[in-house]
Every structure is written in structure tokens, then in C-alpha cells.
Chain A
Amino acid sequence: MKELKIDAKDMDYRELNEKIHEVLDENKDLEKLVLENVLGQRFIGNGVSRKDLTIIVNGVPGGDLGMFMKGPKVVVNGNADHAPGNTMDEGFVVIHGSSGDVTGHSMRGGKVYVQGNVGYRSGIHMKEYKYKFPVLVIGGAAKDFLGEYMAGGIILNFNMDKEDTENIEGRMIATGIHGGVIYIRGIVESSQLGIAADIKDFTEEDIEKITPYIEEFCAEFGYSNEIKEKLINSKYTKIAPISSRPFQKLYTPDLR
């Protein structure tokens, strides 16, 4: 496996990102790129269009990690700042820690897995189109407005620090949702939902749908089989849109 390393110590974000582009341009067969001493540099992986490439981030990346990215897998050994996976096209972002607000913002494909918690408005405006299907998996808790304006894809929220019989925190969940689906482990009251969202029955079919993601999540973060089984056999609240056209009736049908 061809592997290269960049030491990001004292590098400005532009310097680091340009260096990444240069290394990738010069090494078309590169399979693994390790970034050491990352400390708040933004836009890592921005617009990188490469399959079969893994970028290891050792440290804490800045905002918009993997924005517009198409293809690579990014593994963060640390927390991430806001909006990892912003408008991501394809690829896989794995965060061994927590991430900030708007995680997975407008993601249109690929996957973002966060081991810990995520901030406000995560999964906002995720959307899908045919083969493009975004997936956001959150191990810990999510702040308010999860899945706001969601238009496609899937959000899985495990709340691993709690039992599935407990009420979760969070307000205005899925406000304006008009596509996609959210599964939250634990109890969600309908008063916690935003406009246009609805609680649906969690069925066998849903368990089948989420099981592969649970398995992948546990494999990525090294969770035991016991935990995996516990997650698969937990109770989830399924949240989906009332309609794909939530605001249709807001406007007068009369011709003016």
C-alpha cells in the first residue's frame, strides 16, 4: 500500500490544502495519506475527487472537513469542528470523537459517522437523488434542529449514553422535513418535532434497513458484538415527513 505523510504543524490552511492537492496530483496511485499535527486547518479534503484513497487526520481539523468531496475516506483521530461533510458528493468521513454544528450539512451522497455527539442543526438539508443517498450516523447525542429541512437520505442517532427506554433531549427535530428518514434510539415526544415532521411506526423492515449501518458503525469504531446486538435490538423512534410538499397549502391556489 502506497502511503505518504504530511506534517501540518504550523501550516496555514491554504498551505496545507495546496500541499494535499500537490501530493495527490503527483501520486496518482496513493492509497493512504496521513496528516499529522492537524490543528484547526479548515477545508481538508475540500473538492478532492479520488476513490480508493484514505486520508488519516491526526488532530483536530477545522470547519468544512470534506466539503464537496467525491470519493475518499477520511478518518479523523480527534474531534471535528463544524460542518464536516458539507455538501459532500461521495465518500466516507469517520470521526473518532465529536463534531460541531451543521454536521453533514446539505450532504448529497456518501456517509458521515460520528462516534460522539454532534452540534445544532446536524443533517440539515441532506438530500438524495437516485443512486446518491447520504447517511449520517451519530453515536452520541444530537443538539436541536436535527435533520432540519431534510430532503433525503438517512440519519441514525444512537444516544449510546442512554437506555432506549429514556426520553432523548432535543427540540424542533426535523423541522421542514420533506424527504428522507430519521431513526433515533430512545423515546421522542411529538412535542419535540418541528413542523412537517411525523412519528411513524418502527417496523421489522426498518430494523433490516438500519442493521447494515449499525454493523458498519461498530466495525469502524471497534465496538463489541454485545454492543452491536444491543443497538440492533433497541427501540427507535422513526421520524419521517408528513408530505414531500409540506408547504403546498401555504400559498393560494387562485390565479392572480
Chain B
Amino acid sequence: MIPSTVPPKYKVFVDPERCMLCERCTTECSWGVYRRQGNKILTYPNRCGACLRCASLCPRDAITVTLNQSCGREHPVWTPEVKQDVVTQAKSGCILLSGMGNAKEYPIYFDKIVLDACQVTNPSIDPLREPMELRTYVGKKPEKLEFDYVEEEIDGKKVKKAKLKTKIAPNLKLDTPIMIGHMSYGALSLNSHKAMAKAVKECGTFMGTGEGGLHRDLYGYSDNIITQVASGRFGVNSEYLNKGAAIEIKIGQGAKPGIGGHLPGEKVSAEVSMTRMIPQGSDAISPAPHHDIYSIEDLAQLIRSLKEATRWKMPVFVKISAVHNVSAIANGIATSDADAVVIDGFKGGTGAAPKVFRDNVGIPIEVAIAAVDDRLREQGNRHKISIIASGGIRNSADVFKSIALGADAVYIGTAAMVAMGCTVCGRCYTGQCAWGIATQKPELVKRLEVDDAARRVANLIHAWTHEIQELLGAAGINSIESLRGNRDRLRGVGLSEIELNTLGIKQAGM
């Protein structure tokens, strides 16, 4: 073993004045940072990832975890993290893994967009008195409606009645435009999945299974589940496909565009192996491409085969990551029988990705939504497909701005996990999550109390939904339908002309 030549990233301090040697930190820390020796708690800070489980649960508030500042000479380019990465790779010769979303300081366009509000000329609406329509239908919409007129006799009078002739494609009915995106069972614990399923059921919305199949304990939530089919086809059979309300084909993921997924064997427990239908302890590899998709025509074939398997009763989504030619791809998807395209931006989270991908590949979701919405409208295809935006949606304003830029609905992922207790320490890939969220270890999984976590997630969705209603009212709009693609409600602050043009919004003051 080659020793490390950089000091630990974090400093862990146990205040001896406050510590009562209860040893809770030694059991709560799944990384092995703490050990009791005699009348002292020893710390091993090089193992610490600052998940803060110890500090949160220390009954005496004796623990502090801080960034270790004693890392040698300060340098604006060769930061401690850059040096740490070089040293780690020099030691191992391996790819660096990471969890969660992009951790670099790229501009967040959401934060450079402000919302419009009504004053006198166009009065605002009070959502406490007036109904605010947040109902969202995700799926194909007809180009026009056609009716048959049938004459009927009512109370002796002949009345012409209109009957809808146009066949409406199956749509998902959402009470709020916020859904929980796909995070697989395997990456996340069963308790996390149960909590999210309970929450979406209560909120009248949906959650994705991710590519890890659907555990039998979640069969009761099938009306609120979107099943996913990825290149590994884990747990995919016709029963699974029919256990959801919609199906999503995963082509790409925002955190790691262009590469596949890889659940390490240690996370493939007996239950995970049963759900994914692979041997226990075996790696679950989802290769980069679907082996039967090498063109839009092939993708269309997979979409149709999934529709055949479900007798054309379910919408099928296609998830792609936001990359520079996303609008052309989305337009192709619109012409291939898909009902919605999910665009995952580069701030989207993940259980595990090579760090170099997480931090450097892909484009921001804000520009991707705008580009896709523009292109679909130009081509006359916007009604053929819904747009679901995901990857870095942090609050209700981000939801609102996404919809105004052109999305129909959003997926949240990290936000739902943070609601459950995740501290975004970014070590999901190790399977050691001390909060019981991204782990399969039974002793850690049981730390997440399902009902409590479900309550928090449902509260979050409810709170954002209320805020969206308020924002709509302030904008003088009473329906989310009227916000979709309504970029006149947005203004840019501190953006260049080309950025404003790409986003399709005006500069503040104009």
C-alpha cells in the first residue's frame, strides 16, 4: 500500500469537556472514524466524508467536523482537492468515483433568472381565494380535436350532442408538476424507496423505479410508479412493465452522459439480486448504449415493443442527458412514438459516476429545456411529446423557471433525498451511507424511519406546490398550462446577450 502524501480533508474534533464517552459516535459512524481507547475517543479523520451523522446525533454536541485548513501552501490553482485527486490516482492508477451531482462552480442559470410579477395593469390573483390549476398531463396531446355529432332525444326534444372522435393517447395525470426521478433500488435502500412511494401517493404524483426493478413491497404503489428500462434490463419482465403507470427508457443520465451504470457487487444483496434478477454479489453492469438501439429508428422500435407489451395503454418516456445536440435528439424522439422526453442536466445526481464525468460532462438543464422547447415548436412537434426537466432542481423557483422555459413537469432527486436526511456528502457509491439512504446494509437501512421520511418528502412537495401557486398568482396566471413556455415571465440578470438569446429570455428592464 502506497501511503498518502496529503493530510485529511476534514478535521474531526471531539470536545473532551463535553464528551461523556457514551460511544454513540463509534456506532453511528459507518466509516470507522471513531474508536474508544480508555477514557478517550480517538478519531481517524482520513476516513471522514463529512456526512455529519456523528455531529447530528451526539447527545452532548461534542463533535465538530471542519474543513482541514492545514493543507500546506495555499494556491489558487492547486487547491487541496486537486492535489488530493492527483495523489489518490498516483497511488492506485484507478478511475476516481464520486456520488451526487456536479460539484464544480459552474454558473447556475436559474439564479440569474428573475420572475415577473403583476402590479396594476394586469392584476395578480390571490391563490388563497381563487383556484389555482396545477394539474398537469404528461403525454401526447392531439394536434386538433374532432367530434362526431349524434342526435339524441332528451325530454321529447331532439338535441345534437357532440362526441369526441379523436383518440387521446394515454397521459399521466399529476396533481402537481413535481415528480421524483429515477433512483434505483440497489443504489438506494428499500426504506428510501418505500418512503418516496408513500409520499408521491399522498401528493398525487409519481416516482421512478430507476433501473433496478421494482421490489414486491412497492407493488401496492403501482398507480404512482414509473418503471424504467435501461440497457442492463435488470428486473424487466412483462409483470414489471405492467406494474407501473408509465415506462421510461433510460438512454442517458445527467451526472454521467455517454456512459453506462455499474452497481458494484457489494451492493447486490439477496433482496437486490431478487429484484434485479441477477446472482447475489455479481456486478450489475448497464453498458453505455442499449444494444438494440443504434439509431432513432431502433429507439422507436424499443418504444413500440414496450407499448406492445402493455397493449398501448401506457405512456413511454425517454430519458436523455443534456448534451449540446439535445434539441435534435429530442425532436427525433418526438417523432418516434414516445410520449415524453426527460432531459437530465449536468447537475443531476448519481449513486456512482467517475468524478471526471460528474464534474465536466454535459450542459446545464436551463439551456437544454429552452433549446428543446424551441426546436420542438419550430418543427411543429411540441404537442407530440411532453418535456420533463431534471438535474439540479433545488426549490420551487427552479420548478417555476423550468416550466416557464418550456418544461411540462420536473423530476427531483437530490432534493427528495435531502428531505429524507441526506447531507450530500457524495459517498453514495461506497454503499456505506450512514443515514440509511444509499446503502443496502441492514443495520444502516433501518436507520431511515419510513413514515418519518415519507412525511418529510410529502411536506416538501406540498410546500413547493403552495409556493408555485403563489408565484402563479403573483404572475396573474391561474393555470400552470398558461405558464408553460411563457418566457415573457422571465428576465435575465447578469447574462450575456448570447446567453439571453439561447435561453430565449429578455434582459431585466426590457
CA of A40 to CA of B5 in the docked complex: distance in angstroms?
A: 64
A234 → chain B closest CB, angstroms: 29
The closest CB in chain B to the CB of A88 belongs to B237
**Residues of chain B in range 70-123 having any CB-CB distance to chain A below 8 Å:** 84-85, 88-89, 91-92, 94-98
Cβ-defined contact, B92 with A128, below 8 A: no
Q: How far is the CA of A247 from the CA of B287 in the complex (A)?
A: 12
Q: Which residues of A contact B89 (CB under 8 A)?
A: 252
Which one of B274, B287, B355 has the greatest number of beta carbons of chain A within 10 Å? B287
Tell me the minimal C-beta distance from B30 to chain A in angstroms.
11
* Complex interface: chain A residues within 8 A of B304 (CB): 42-43
List the count of A-B residue pairs having beta carbons below 8 Å apart: 146
Which residues of chain B have C-beta atoms less than 8 A from A105's C-beta? Answer: 291-292
Q: Is A94 in the interface zone, CB < 8 Å from B?
A: no
Interface string of A171-203 (1 = CB under 8 A from B): 000001011000000000000000000000000
Contact A42 B301 (CB under 8 A): yes
Contact B88 A256 (CB under 8 A): yes
The reply to whether A252 and B308 form a contact with Cβ atoms under 8 Å apart is no
In Å, the complex CA distance between A89 and B236 comes to 9
In the complex, how many residues of chain B place their beta carbon closer than 8 angstroms to a beta carbon of chain A? 50
- Cβ A247 vs Cβ B305 within 8 A: no
Taken residue by residue from 39 to 67, chain A's Cβ proximity to chain B (1 for < 8 Å, 0 otherwise) reads as 00011001101000000000000011001
Residues A127 and B278 in contact, CB atoms below 8 Å apart: yes
Contact status A245-B96, CB under 8 Å: no
Task: Give the docked Cα–Cα distance between A254 and B97 (Å).
Answer: 9
B37 at the A/B interface (Cβ < 8 Å)? no
Decide if B233 is an interface residue (CB 8 Å cutoff): yes
Q: How far is the CA of A105 from the CA of B233 in the complex (A)?
A: 10
Q: Is A149 an interface residue (CB 8 A)?
A: yes
| A244 and B31 form a contact (CB under 8 A) | no
With A127-B278, A176-B287 already in contact, the answer to whether A256 and B265 are too (CB < 8 A) is: no
Cβ-defined contact, A129 with B430, below 8 A: no
A18 to B304, CA, bound (A): 13
**In the complex, A190→B311 CA distance in Å?**
46
Q: B326 interface residue, CB < 8 Å from A? A: no
Would you give the shortest CB distance from A64 to chain B, in whole angstroms?
A: 5
Q: Is the CB of A179 within 8 A of B305?
A: no
In the complex, the answer to whether B92 meets A253 with C-beta atoms within 8 Å is yes
Indicate which residue in B49, B281, B283 contacts A247 across the interface (CB closer than 8 Å).
B283
Query: Contacting chain B: which of A1-9, A28-36, A79-87, A218-226?
Result: A79-87
Give the chain A neighbours of B231 by CB distance below 8 A.
Answer: 125
The answer to whether A63 and B96 have CB atoms under 8 Å apart is no
A49-B238, A246-B283 are contacts. A255–B308 as well, Cβ < 8 Å? no
Min CB gap A157→B, angstroms:
18
The reply to whether B427 and A255 form a contact with Cβ atoms under 8 Å apart is yes
Of all A-B residue pairs in the complex, the 6 with the closest CB atoms, nearest first, are A47-B309, A252-B94, A129-B277, A106-B233, A46-B308, A47-B238
For this complex, 16 residue pairs linking A to B, each with C-beta atoms less than 8 Å apart, are A17-B308, A47-B238, A68-B237, A68-B238, A68-B305, A87-B237, A108-B277, A127-B278, A178-B282, A179-B279, A244-B281, A245-B283, A250-B94, A252-B95, A253-B94, A254-B92
A→B interface (CB under 8 Å): 14, 17-18, 21, 42-43, 46-47, 49, 63-64, 67-70, 82-83, 86-87, 89, 102, 105-106, 108, 121, 124-125, 127-129, 132, 148-149, 151-152, 176, 178-179, 244-256
